[in-house]
């Protein structure tokens, strides 16, 4: 097995285990067994559990951004339609059998108070989403405050869907987004 193969197997196993069980609950031996690598190889590639968590969160950030961007590119349409398509993307994610909430919210809730690097990565991820929404809102011709409101709807939908296991939460958030967008556009015109 090449170093790249081992690296990928470790990250894939860590992502699955952390998402299913939580970050603190998964030990290095369980991760080693799931990845099919020796403990020596695991520590050679990732000297600490913190290093693995950071790598997993960086990977999740890239997956989120590329998935959302691809979905909006496939959807096309006006900035308003793009903003609303964000909630369609969330609904699709919520409908997967493996949805257990936002990995970043989960990580922050579990580790944010004791691992400053994790807390910073979570903040950067959420800020990136806020900036993404702000770009669409600016294209719409609305103020940045609308981006904050729409982002809060998306974040709240993720948490609520994880707790209730009800993917229709995304549709409720989308309806609320329509109200906010239309109210703001009415003020702008």
Specify the DSSP class assigned to residue 165: -
Q: How far is CA 188 from each of CA 39, 92, 183, rounded to the nearest angstrom? A: 60, 32, 9
Of 125, 132, 126, 129, nearest to 79 (Cα)? 132
pLDDT at site 113: 86
Sequence-ordered list of residues with C-beta below 8 angstroms from that of 65, at least 6 positions apart, any chain: 128, 132
Q: Determine which of 40-44, 92-96, 184-188 has the lowest per-residue pLDDT on average.
A: 184-188
The whole-number average pLDDT for the span 133-141 is 96
**Which superfamily does 53-188 belong to?**
Tetracycline Repressor, domain 2 (1.10.357.10)
Q: How far apart are CA 49 and CA 24, in angstroms?
A: 10
Is pLDDT larger for residue 188 or for residue 106? 106
Domain edges within the chain = 1-47, 53-188
Residue 116, pLDDT above cutoff 60: yes
Q: With contact defined as beta carbons under 8 Å apart, do 72 and 82 qualify?
A: yes
pLDDT at site 188: 52
Residue 101, pLDDT above cutoff 70: yes
The topology (CATH level 3) of 1-47 is Arc Repressor Mutant, subunit A (1.10.10)
Residue 189, pLDDT above cutoff 80: no
Q: How far is CA 112 from each of CA 22, 23, 104, 117, 164, rounded to the nearest angstrom? A: 13, 11, 10, 8, 23
Q: Express each pLDDT in 14-57 by its tens digit.
A: 999 999 999 999 999 999 999 999 999 999 999 999 999 999 99
Q: How far apart are CA 9 and CA 37, in angstroms?
A: 8
Q: Express each pLDDT in 147-161 by its tens digit.
A: 999 999 999 999 999
pLDDT at site 167: 95
pLDDT at site 1: 79
């Amino acid at each position: 097995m090449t170093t790249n193969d081992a690296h990928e197997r470790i990250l894939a196993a860590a992502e699955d285990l952390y998402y299913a069980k939580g970050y603190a609950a998964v030990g290095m031996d369980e991760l080693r067994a799931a990845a099919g690598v020796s403990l020596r190889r695991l520590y050679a590639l990732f000297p600490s559990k913190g290093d693995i968590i950071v790598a997993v969160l960086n990977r999740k950030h890239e997956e989120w951004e590329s998935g959302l961007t691809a979905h909006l590119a496939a959807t096309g349409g006006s900035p308003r339609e793009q903003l609303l398509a964000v909630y369609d993307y969330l609904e699709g994610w919520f409908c997967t059998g493996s949805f257990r909430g936002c990995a970043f919210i989960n990580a922050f809730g579990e580790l944010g108070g004791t691992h400053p690097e994790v807390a910073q990565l979570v903040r950067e991820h959420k800020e990136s989403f806020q900036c993404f929404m702000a770009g669409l809102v600016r294209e719409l011709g609305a103020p940045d405050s609308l981006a904050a409101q729409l982002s809060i709807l998306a974040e709240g939908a993720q948490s609520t869907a994880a707790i209730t296991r009800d993917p229709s939460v995304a549709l409720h958030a989308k309806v609320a987004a329509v109200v906010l967008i239309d109210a703001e556009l009415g003020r702008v015109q």
